[in-house]
Amino acid sequence: MNNKILVIAIILLVLGAGALIMIQSESGTSRIPQTLSQPPASGTEPPHSHAVTSQRVPKYQSASEALDLPPTLPAANFFGKAKEAYRVAKEIPQTLAQLPCYCHCDQSFGHKSLHTCFVDDHAAQCAVCVDEALLAYRLQREEKMTPDQVRDRIIEKYSAEHQH
């Protein structure tokens, strides 16, 4: 008897939540949680939010700090664009260490630079990290840019993309 009541209560909750979602979508209200659709209030950012709260440039390492880096994960552990990005991270780790990561994982995960995203599986789950690394590789290899020039281009591109 108690199990039937519990099942009925769960069904009613699910139906109620579904009705709320339908009402919000019909009225034009965004279904994106407010913490992601608007800048958070006074320095409270949800863990690993891709919402940009300011024009702040995320942390990156200096050229001298980028000399002794931990290894990145093997590209073979991943697939698609992530696999390519992990391959790139292994080829140009010093450059990636000198770049900020615009998913702002320096705040949410304590990362020191874009390179840090590839030391674990964080980048495999983040399009910002993957796209930044692939762009950095193209700029360095094809356009023969220095890490400083690549950083300037990354900051310019990602700052402009995240302006409201």
Tokens of 74: 């093997």
The answer on 46 and 13 residing in a single domain is no
Cα separations in angstroms, 17 against 13, 26, 27, 112: 6, 14, 16, 40
pLDDT tops 50 at residue 90? yes
The answer on 127 and 46 residing in a single domain is yes
The answer on 144 and 99 residing in a single domain is yes
What count of other Cβ atoms lies within 10 Å of the Cβ of residue 43? 8
Task: Write the burial class of residue 113 (CB in 10 Å: 0-12 exposed, 13-18 middle, 19+ buried).
Answer: buried
The answer on 43 and 27 residing in a single domain is no
Asked if 129 and 137 count as a contact pair (C-beta separation under 8 A), the reply is: no
The answer on 115 and 44 residing in a single domain is yes
The answer on 8 and 85 residing in a single domain is no
What count of other Cβ atoms lies within 10 Å of the Cβ of residue 7? 10
Give the residue, 9 or 129, on which the prediction is more confident: 129
Q: What is the pLDDT of residue 47?
A: 39
pLDDT tops 90 at residue 50? no
Predicted confidence band of residue 5 (pLDDT cuts 50, 70, 90): confident
Query: Where in the sequence is the domain holding 83, given as residue range(s)?
Result: 38-164
Instruction: Write out pLDDT tens, residues 56-78.
Output: 898 998 998 888 899 999 999 99
The answer on 86 and 11 residing in a single domain is no
The answer on 9 and 69 residing in a single domain is no
Rounded to whole angstroms, the Cα distance separating 72 from 13 reads 45
Rounded to whole angstroms, the Cα distance separating 100 from 148 reads 11
Rounded to whole angstroms, the Cα distance separating 99 from 131 reads 13
* b/e 71-95 (16+ beta carbons within 10 angstroms → b): ebbebeebeeebbbbbbbbeebbeb
Instruction: Write out pLDDT tens, residues 115-164.
Output: 999 999 999 999 999 999 999 999 999 999 999 999 999 999 988 765 54
The answer on 123 and 42 residing in a single domain is yes
What's the whole-model pTM score?
A: 0.65
pLDDT tops 80 at residue 51? no
The answer on 125 and 50 residing in a single domain is yes
Give the residue, 1 or 24, on which the prediction is more confident: 1
